[in-house]
Amino acid sequence: MPEDMSGRVVYYYERTLTTTVNNIEHIESGSYYGRGIVKVYFQPGTDTSVAQTQITSVSQTVIKQLPTGATPPLILAYNASSVPVLTLQINSDKLNGSELYNMASNLIRPQLISVPGVSIPNPYGGLAPYITVDIDPAKLMAHNLSAVDVSTALNKQNIVLPAGDQRVGPFDYMVRTNAQPREVETFNNLPLKQVGNAVVYLRDVAYVHRGGPPQANMVLVKGRQAVMMVIMKSGDASTLDVVAGVKKLLPQVIDTLPKGTSIKILTDASGFVKDSVEDVVREMIIAALLTSLAVLLFLGSWRSTLIVATSIPLAILCSVIGLSLAGQSINVMTLGGLALAVGILVDDATVMIENIDAHLEMGKDLEMAIIDAANQIVIPTFVSTTCICIVWLPLFELTGVAGWLFMPMAEAIIFAMIASFILSRTWCRPWPTGCWRRRWQPMNMATKARSRVSSGDSSAVSSTVSRVSASGTRLCSPD
C-alpha cells in the first residue's frame, strides 16, 4: 500500500541519500501501490556523473534495511536537456497489452538504445508480465497452511542450480538441476504438504495464472491496448542526430517484430528545430537582399553590395564556431539568438562601406580614404557593439532551467556581434582596394588635374592629362 511504501521503503531511502550523496538541493518523493518515486535535485554546477555514481552505490547498501522482496531502484539521470524528442506508438492486432509491454521492453528498447544520445524510460500502457498466485484464505485455513508455506514451496521448487559435470568417455557433460516450471499450469501442480498418503497441491489452496500489478496507465488504439514509448535525448546530444538515428533504425527493428505489429511516430520534436533553422536562413536571406539593395541603390557599386551580403553569413558562421567552442549545440534557443542578431549584423559592414565611399568622394587617395574612414568610425562602432553585448550579459547570471535556456541565446548574439565588428575591420577593408581602384583612381586624377589648372601648373597638367587619357578617361574643359 502507498502508506507502507512511504513509511517502510521511501523514508529510509531518503535518509540514506542525505548522508552519502553530496550537493543535494532538495528531495521530492511519491509513494504508490507497490512502488515509490524519489526525485533528487542537485545544486547548480554539480557533476551529475559523480552524483549518479554515489546514488547507485548507496542504493545497493540500503536494500538490506528494506522489507524482504524489495528490489534495487532504477536510476535515471535527468537534466534540462533531457526532453522527449520522439513518441512511438506500438500496437498489434494479435498481441495483448502484456505481450506488447514485454516486446517493447525486451525487444524494441534494447535496439533503439544503441543510438548515441538516446535515453528510453519504461513504456507506457500495457502490463508488466507477472505470474500471479491468488490464494484462497478459506482453503488455506482448511488445510492448516499459511501464506508463508506457499511462498516457501514456490521458492524451493522454482530454482535452477548447477550440479557439476559428468565425464563419459571423451565427453564432459554439464549437469544442472532444473526445477523451474516451463508452463504456468505446472505451478498449480506443485506440492505444498503431505498429510499421510494425501498430498496438498498448490491448486488446492490457490490459483496460478498470468497477471500483473494493478495497471496505472493505459494506451488504447481503436479500442485495443497498445504501448507508447518516449524517446528522450540525454546530455549534449543533438535533437536532429537523435531523431535521425532512431528513424534510420526503425525499419530494422520492425523486421524483427511479429507479424501484425506496427510502430507509428506520434510526435517529432526535430520539426521545431528544422523550422528554427529555416527561420534563421530566411531572415539571413531577407536581410542580405534588402541591405544589398540599399547599398546598390545609394552607392551604385555591385562590389560593395557583394561585401555587405557576404558579411552576414560569415558572421553567422563565426558565431556557430564560437558556440561549438563554448560547448553549445544548435538548438531552438541558439537559433533564436542568431535570428535576433541577423538584423544587427549588417550595420558594421554597411557603415564601413558607406564611410569609405564618402571619403573617396572628398578626393582622397584610395588607401588613405580606407584608413581615414576606418579610424573615424572605429570608436562609435566599438561602443555600439559593446553596448549591445552588455545588454545580454545579465542572462549569464541566471541559474537553473532559466539559465540553461537563455544563456545559449545570449552567447549566440554576443559571438555574432563580435564577429560582425571584426569582419568590418578586416573583411570590408582589403576588398575596397580592388573594388574602388578602377572606379576612383581616374576620377581622383581628374580632380587633381583641375586643381593644378587653376593654380597655373601647365607641366603638371599635361602629365596628368596624359596619364588620365591612357587610363581611358576623358577630361572635359569647363564652359
Residue 34 belongs to a domain with what CATH number? Answer: 3.30.70.1430
Asked if 276 and 421 sit in the same domain, the reply is yes
Give yes or no: residues 182 and 276 share one domain: no
- Are residues 217 and 125 in contact, defined by beta-carbon separation less than 8 angstroms? yes
Rg (CA), the chain: 38
pLDDT of residue 428: 60
How many other C-beta atoms lie within 10 A of the C-beta of residue 8?
16
Return d(Cα 46, Cα 410) in angstroms, integer: 23
Are 408 and 290 in a shared domain? yes
Could you say which of 42, 77, 112 is where a domain stops?
Answer: 77
Q: Which of 77, 102, 121 is the last residue of a domain?
A: 77
With bands split at pLDDT 50, 70 and 90, how would you rate the model's confidence at 299?
low
Which pLDDT score, from 0 to 100, does residue 448 have?
41
**Grid-cell match 544442472, residue found:** 176
Taking all residues of the chain, what is their mean pLDDT, rounded to a whole number?
76
Least confident of 175-179, 400-404, 436-440: 436-440
Q: Cβ-count burial of 358 within 10 angstroms (0-12 exposed, 13-18 middle, 19+ buried)? A: middle
Distance, in Å, from the CA atom of 27 to the CA atom of 44, rounded to the nearest integer, reads 15
Q: What is the mean predicted confidence (pLDDT) over 251-265?
A: 85
Q: How confident is the model at residue 459 (pLDDT cuts 50, 70, 90)?
A: very low
**In sequence order, which ranges of 332-393 are alpha helices (DSSP H)?**
332-361, 366-392
Tell me how far apart the alpha carbons of residues 284 and 344 are, in angstroms, rounded to a whole number. Answer: 11
Q: What confidence tier does 82 reach under pLDDT thresholds 50, 70, 90?
A: low
Of 215 and 15, the structure prediction assigns the larger pLDDT to 15
Is 286 in the same domain as 419? Answer: yes
To which H or E segment does residue 85 belong?
A: strand 84-92
On whether residue 117 sits in a domain, the answer given is no
pLDDT at 291 over 80: no
Is residue 217 in some structural domain? no
Average pLDDT, integer, range 211-231: 80
pLDDT of amino acid 443: 42
Residue 463 lies in a domain: no
439 pLDDT higher than 70: no
Is 112 part of any domain?
no
Domain count, the chain: 3
Same domain, yes or no: 285 and 403:
yes
Q: Is the pLDDT of residue 350 over 80?
A: no
Choosing from 435, 450, 469, the residue where a domain stops is 435
pLDDT at 189 over 60: yes
Q: Using CA atoms, how far apart are residues 303 and 320, in angstroms rounded to an integer?
A: 26
Q: Is residue 164 part of a domain?
A: yes
Show Cβ contacts of residue 309 under 8 Å, excluding neighbours closer than 6 positions: 288, 289, 291, 292
Residue 313 CA neighbour count, 13 Å, CB half: 10
In this structure, what CATH number is given to the domain that contains residue 191? 3.30.2090.10
Domain extent, residue 145, equals 130-211
Q: Strands 84-92 and 261-268, how do they pair?
A: antiparallel
Nearest to 206 by CA among 143, 251, 159, 288: 143
One-letter amino acid at 124 equals Y
Specify if 457 maps to a domain: no
pLDDT tens across 150-159, in order?
888 888 877 7
Q: Residue 110's pLDDT is what?
A: 86
Q: In the chain, pLDDT over 70 holds for what percent of residues?
A: 86
**Bigger pLDDT: 84 vs 463:** 84
Most confident of 157-166, 308-317, 449-458: 308-317
pLDDT at 427: 67
Task: Examine the domain organization and report whether 294 and 421 are in the same domain.
Answer: yes
User: Is residue 47 located within the same domain as residue 192?
Assistant: no
**139 and 67 within one domain:** no
Q: How confident is the model at residue 461 (pLDDT cuts 50, 70, 90)?
A: very low
98-104 average pLDDT score = 84
In a domain, 278, yes or no: yes
pLDDT at 476: 35
CATH code at position 312: 1.20.1640.10
pLDDT of res. 81: 64
Verify that 407 and 333 share a domain, yes or no.
yes
Q: What are the tens digits of pLDDT across the range 18-52?
A: 888 888 888 888 888 777 888 888 887 777 778 88
Indicate if 170 and 278 belong to the same structural domain: no
How do residues 383-399 score in pLDDT, each as one tens digit? 888 888 888 888 888 77
* pLDDT at residue 462 in the model: 41
Percent of the chain with pLDDT over 90: 0
Residues 315 and 431 reside in one and the same domain: yes
* Cell, residue 87: 513518441
Q: What is the mean pLDDT of residues 456-477?
A: 39
Highest mean pLDDT among 43-57, 202-216, 353-367, 382-396: 382-396
Per-residue pLDDT tens over the stretch 301-328: 677 777 777 777 888 888 888 888 887 7
pLDDT of residue 272: 79
In this predicted model, what pLDDT tens digit does every residue of 239-253 receive, in sequence order?
Answer: 788 888 888 888 888
Which H helix or E strand runs over 115?
Answer: none
Q: For residue 8, is it within any domain?
A: yes
State whether residue 414 is helix, strand or coil: helix
Residues 320 and 418 in one domain: yes
Give the DSSP letter of residue 171. E
In 3D space, the residue among 263, 339, 4 whose CA is nearest the CA of residue 111 turns out to be 263
- Say whether pLDDT at 460 is over 50: no
